[in-house]
Structure 1
Amino acid sequence: MSCSADGRPIDVTDILARLKGLSAAEEFFAALGVSYDPKVLNVSRLHIMKRMGQYLAEEDFSGLPDPVIAARVRATLERAYEDFATYSPLTHRVFKVLKDHDPDKPATPGRAFVPFDSVLKPFGKD
């Protein structure tokens, strides 16, 4: 057993299999006992979960006992959450669509970017 952010014990038994069955971000935070600000989670939930997946892909859990796996998975969620609790999703750009349209990078030749507001302008007016 490990303790959650509020001091209650969390079940670490076969944690990876149990996490695979979860779908909502709140379920991951609850299962791992990680506290969060609902405002941060509402704005960045997909980014946090994507980043957690990126961090988990770097881990090797083979042969480790359940408490160690649970502690490492919990640490990845905390790390991913902190990434977006302090900076906006546009800062980290974890999704391809945000990476491809980074205003700090030069445009790819042959691919023009047309701002959406320019499409909404009536024809003949400039």
Structure 2
Amino acid sequence: MSFQDEIEELESAEDFLQYFELPYEARVVHVNRLHILQRFHDYLDKGAEHLPENEEAQRAVYKQLLARAYQDFVESDAQTEKVFKVFKMAEPQTVFISLGDIQT
């Protein structure tokens, strides 16, 4: 089975962390599992064109990026890291409606 085939079999953040033999705190993963996986995906997307061809070298890069994504949430939290669009949305805006525009 190729490295890419093995990766496609992984489903959870815990699966990825265990596959790459990265130590982790269950508490951090439990609260941030989707954020960690999304950040990992984002890191992979940013460096996709620079990934090595060799599977062992790819595995090392993936491991490094996953460790970085996990560490982001050890040192911070989801609201601060703003991984998902919902956290990036601007605050609600105040809109002015004149009394003349209100019809009863």
How would you bin the TM-score normalised by the shorter chain? 0.7 to 0.9
Unpaired segments ≥5 residues, structure 2: 96-104
**Counterpart residue number, 2:65:** 76
1:57-114 Cα shifts (integer Å, max 9, x gaps): 12236662111000000001000001001101000111111111xxxx553566xxxx
Amino acid of the structure 2 residue aligned with 1:107: P
Q: Indicate if the aligned counterparts of 2:51 and 2:58 stay in contact, CA closer than 8 A.
A: no
Q: Which runs of 4+ in 1 moved over 3 A?
A: 105-110
**Counterpart residue number, 2:92:** 107
Alignment of 1:1-126 (within 5 A): 14-59=2-47, 60=49, 64-100=53-89, 105-108=90-93
* 3-state DSSP of counterpart to 1:58: helix
Q: Quick one: percent identity of the two aligned structures?
A: 29
Q: Indicate if the aligned counterparts of 1:61 and 1:69 stay in contact, CA closer than 8 A.
A: no
**For the residues of structure 1 that align with 2:21 and 2:50, how far apart are their CA atoms?**
20
Higher helix fraction: Structure 1 or Structure 2? Answer: 2
**For the residues of structure 2 that align with 1:54 and 1:20, how far apart are their CA atoms?**
17
Q: Structure 1 residues 98 and 36 mapped into 2: Cα distance closer, same or farther (>3 Å)?
A: same
- TM score, norm. by length of structure 1: 0.67
Unpaired segments ≥5 residues, structure 1: 1-12, 111-126
- TM score, norm. by length of structure 2: 0.79
Q: Structure 1 residues 99 and 33 mapped into 2: Cα distance closer, same or farther (>3 Å)?
A: same
